[in-house]
């Protein structure tokens, strides 16, 4: 065991903890050492070296005795025979909860590595929502594993580096742990792209030497000018981290020699007014780049980060990036959410940061509750860890931070779930825009809602926030289940009618028996499963009617039940895209598991081609008074003359039809136009086509059916 590391740890905690807390950590150290006795890391070192290193990563943040104790014990429950209960008995329930939140779910069996990874994140983030120290310990654990990754196989090191780059580094950034975040990114870069890392690392060392004189000159110039203006300031040169330089090269397609601002500068002043005065002095010394100024003091980042950022032309035309902030802001920028333990001053700032962190964790828990599975939740988490943000305003001037690429729908859901679910239009800077419009910094956004509106599945193709994605999926699932339950109730009623029974006459005892036999929680669940094709209506009907096979065969022979389509079934009934049936077409229905009822025209080739024994075919018919718009495709061959498209569009509008989509193929003298229209029925379509035939330039018009599925 590396005794010196253990001694150093005790010295570090003694500097800020009380003697009784240090005694607890000493006890935890002995307990962990005994538990891991004889265990070795893959590097060959005694295993105890790892928990000690994790605890030492946390001591600069001045974490409390419970957290340091949990760091020393974080692998005990997972890798030894000692239980969480034993840890609780010896070190208290709070320490045991931290250790439990950090322990993997190794006792459960998962189908894939991705499922296991996702479920572990799910558990960790639930624990993190209760106590943020869980993630601080986990990040320290991951950092030490990354520092010692050269002792594992190449395939495993790449997998761990990918996971770190995708999840752990962005979480560290989201929590404002800047130093830890940058080291995690650099180490991930080292194992994901070893050759690029080596070349860039070598080039950076050479550049340090070459640019030392220029950096010194800039530092001295800034210090002197600030002093001349009576501004008390500390000026530091700061080197950009390796992965940050690589990202800049990738984003702007630059060679390393073209990245001139590998050095940045930081000006630390006493108070907020001095930040803006220092900015003015700096811009007087060096000319600023237009459009490169960012004020994160007035509008802080979501992780609480505050600073002024500017880029200026330095000596010899060298671009210089400068950050200006107070000493307090600098402390928060370096240690983020851990500032609570590290600094007892600036409580207002720290409380606001903790409130933002709590809100973020709550939004993660909401998406956790709504996710269908752990892998879907992991997707939500990755989406939510976007580092770049845009800041937009509500009509009342409230600021909202959203990921870059966020749309008006993302904004609506960030205001409130009900606003998102009922939004129908958006105004950006007082102008109506499509809901899919991307928002830009400074946009003023107003959402128009309607009481009966509901989410559109198409929104999922362009929203970027996990809250919006999760709420839309949740609403669509709820709508789908409700509509499927209504369809399932009709299908079950049809099946019971064919057996000589009525649904409303089935006694409670029969329902109780069927629910128990099928392990369903309610009738609604049975109905929804029938509507979605997960259960067969005839099987449930027989169970409810208590018929044996012979009896059901006799009664089924008289089955003449037909499902009538009312047009109000919503998502429970799908109209096949391959043949696009409309009222008036002869149709047939297919129940597919998980999809519900799909309606095809009776002569649809893809229906015959894709038929299999697991599908249930049912008779369906159009209701006489169906009120719904249906999509239909038509093809026109027109003379290639100016204004013909406008004439066609005007004729379609005159026939009270909507154009959903249009595309064309130009073949010289003639053009093929393909329209997807919305019509009420075949009579309406016939009226549209009659109007189009009157246009002299229209040579031929046909309805397009049997589109490949």
CB 444 within 8 A of CB 392: yes
Beta-sheet pairing, 319-326 with 263-269: parallel
Beta-sheet pairing, 573-575 with 596-601: parallel
**E-state strands within 457-586:** 563-565, 573-575
CB 677 within 8 A of CB 658: yes
The span from the CA of 103 to the CA of 117, in Å, is 12
Q: Which residues pair with 400 in a beta bridge?
A: 392
- In angstroms, the Cα distances linking 501 to 411, 516, 545, 552 are 52, 21, 7, 12
CB 618 within 8 A of CB 493: no
CB 491 within 8 A of CB 498: no
Q: How many residues does the chain have?
A: 709
Cα-based angle 334, 335, 336 (whole degrees, multiple of 5): 105
User: Mapping DSSP to helix (H, G, I), strand (E, B) and coil, where does residue 320 land?
Assistant: strand
In the set 21, 79, 131, 166, the catalytic residue is 79
The span from the CA of 299 to the CA of 442, in Å, is 11
Please indicate whether residue 79 is annotated as part of the active site: yes
Containing 598, the helix (H) or strand (E) segment is strand 596-601
The span from the CA of 244 to the CA of 251, in Å, is 11
Per-residue burial over 193-230, b = 16 or more CB atoms within 10 Å of its CB, e = otherwise:
eeeebeebeebbeebeeebeeebeebeebbeebbeeee
Please indicate whether residue 669 is annotated as part of the active site: no
Backbone angles phi, psi at 217, to 5 degrees: -65, -45
The span from the CA of 208 to the CA of 35, in Å, is 46
The span from the CA of 606 to the CA of 609, in Å, is 5
- In angstroms, the Cα distances linking 400 to 337, 394, 413 are 20, 8, 11
User: Mapping DSSP to helix (H, G, I), strand (E, B) and coil, where does residue 262 land?
Assistant: coil
Q: Which residues pair with 573 in a beta bridge?
A: 597
**Residue whose structure tokens are 């629910």:** 515
Q: At what angle do helices 644-654 and 682-693 cross, to 10 degrees?
A: 140
**Residue 439 per-residue DSSP state:** P
CB atoms closer than 10 angstroms to residue 191:
22
**Which residues, other chains included, contact 387 with Cβ-Cβ below 8 Å and sequence gap of 6+?**
170, 173
What dihedral do alpha carbons 671, 675, 679, 685 form, nearest 10°? Answer: 30
CB atoms closer than 10 angstroms to residue 585:
21
**Token couple for 373:** 């599975």
The span from the CA of 26 to the CA of 137, in Å, is 18
**Token couple for 102:** 């950090």
CB 449 within 8 A of CB 424: yes
In the set 21, 26, 78, 131, the catalytic residue is 78
Q: Considering only CA atoms, which of 567, 505, 569 is closest in space to residue 531?
A: 569
Q: Which residues are catalytic?
A: 78-79
């Amino acid at each position: 065991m590396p005794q010196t590391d253990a001694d150093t740890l005790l010295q570090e905690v003694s500097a800020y903890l009380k003697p009784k807390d240090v005694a607890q950590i000493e006890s935890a150290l002995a307990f962990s050492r005994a538990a891991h006795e004889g265990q070795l890391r893959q590097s060959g070192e005694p295993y105890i070296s790892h928990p000690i290193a994790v605890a030492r990563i946390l001591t600069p943040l001045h974490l409390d005795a419970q957290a340091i104790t949990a760091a020393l014990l974080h692998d005990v429950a997972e890798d030894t025979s000692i239980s969480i209960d034993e840890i609780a008995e010896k070190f208290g329930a709070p320490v045991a909860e931290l250790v439990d939140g950090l322990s993997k779910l190794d006792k459960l069996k998962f189908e894939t590595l991705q499922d296991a990874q996702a479920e572990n994140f799910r558990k960790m983030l639930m624990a993190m929502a209760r106590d943020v120290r869980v993630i601080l310990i986990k990040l320290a654990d991951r950092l030490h594993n990354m520092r010692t990754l050269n002792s594992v196989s190449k395939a495993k090191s790449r997998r761990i580096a990918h996971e770190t780059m995708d999840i752990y580094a962005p979480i560290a950034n989201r929590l404002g742990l800047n130093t830890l975040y940058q080291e995690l990114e650099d180490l991930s870069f080292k194992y994901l792209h070893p050759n690029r890392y080596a070349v860039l690392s070598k080039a950076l060392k050479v550049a340090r030497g070459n640019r030392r004189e220029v950096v010194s000159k800039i530092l001295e110039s800034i210090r002197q000018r600030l002093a001349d203006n009576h501004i008390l300031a500390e000026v530091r040169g700061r080197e950009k981290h390796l992965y940050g330089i690589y990202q800049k090269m990738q984003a702007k397609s630059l060679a390393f020699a073209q990245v001139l601002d590998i050095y940045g500068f930081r000006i630390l002043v006493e108070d907020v007014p001095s930040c803006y005065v220092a900015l003015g002095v700096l811009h007087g010394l060096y000319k600023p780049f237009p459009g490169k100024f960012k004020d994160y003091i007035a509008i802080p980042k979501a992780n609480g980060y505050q600073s002024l950022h500017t880029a200026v032309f330095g000596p010899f035309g060298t671009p210089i990036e400068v950050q200006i902030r107070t000493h307090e802001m600098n402390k928060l920028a370096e240690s983020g959410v851990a500032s609570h333990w590290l600094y007892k001053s600036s409580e207002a700032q720290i409380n606001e940061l903790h409130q933002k962190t709590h809100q973020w964790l709550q939004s993660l828990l909401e998406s956790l509750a709504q996710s269908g599975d752990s892998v879907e939740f992991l997707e939500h988490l990755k989406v939510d860890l976007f580092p770049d943000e845009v800041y937009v305003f509500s009509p009342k001037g409230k600021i909202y931070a959203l990921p870059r690429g966020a749309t008006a729908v993302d904004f609506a859901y960030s205001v409130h779930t009900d606003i998102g679910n009922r939004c129908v239009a958006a105004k950006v800077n007082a102008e109506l825009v499509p809901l899919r419009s991307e928002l830009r910094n400074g946009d003023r956004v107003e959402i128009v809602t309607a009481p009966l509106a509901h989410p559109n599945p198409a929104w999922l193709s362009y929203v970027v926030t996990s809250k919006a994605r999760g709420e839309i999926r949740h609403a669509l699932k709820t709508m789908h289940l409700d509509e499927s339950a209504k369809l399932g109730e009709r299908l079950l009623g049809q099946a019971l009618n064919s057996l000589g029974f009525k649904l409303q006459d089935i006694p409670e005892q029969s329902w109780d028996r069927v629910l128990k036999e099928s392990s369903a929680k309610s009738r609604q669940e049975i109905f929804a499963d029938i509507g979605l094709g997960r259960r067969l209506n005839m099987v449930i009907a027989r169970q409810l009617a208590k018929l044996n096979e012979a009896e059901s065969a006799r009664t089924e022979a008289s089955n003449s039940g037909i499902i009538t389509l009312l047009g109000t079934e919503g998502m429970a009934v799908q109209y096949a895209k391959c043949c696009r049936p409309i009222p008036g077409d002869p149709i047939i229905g297919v129940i597919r598991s998980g999809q519900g009822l799909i309606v095809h025209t009776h002569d649809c080739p893809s229906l015959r081609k894709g038929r299999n024994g697991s599908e249930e075919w049912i008779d369906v018919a159009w209701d006489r008074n169906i009120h719904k718009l249906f999509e239909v495709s038509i093809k026109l061959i027109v003379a290639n003359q100016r204004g013909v498209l406008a004439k066609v569009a005007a004729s379609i509008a005159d026939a009270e039809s909507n154009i959903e989509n249009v595309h064309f193929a130009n073949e010289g003298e003639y053009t093929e136009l393909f329209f997807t229209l919305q019509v009420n029925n075949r009579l309406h379509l016939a009226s549209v086509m009659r109007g189009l035939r009157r246009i002299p330039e229209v040579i031929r018009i046909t309805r397009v059916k049997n589109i490949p599925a």
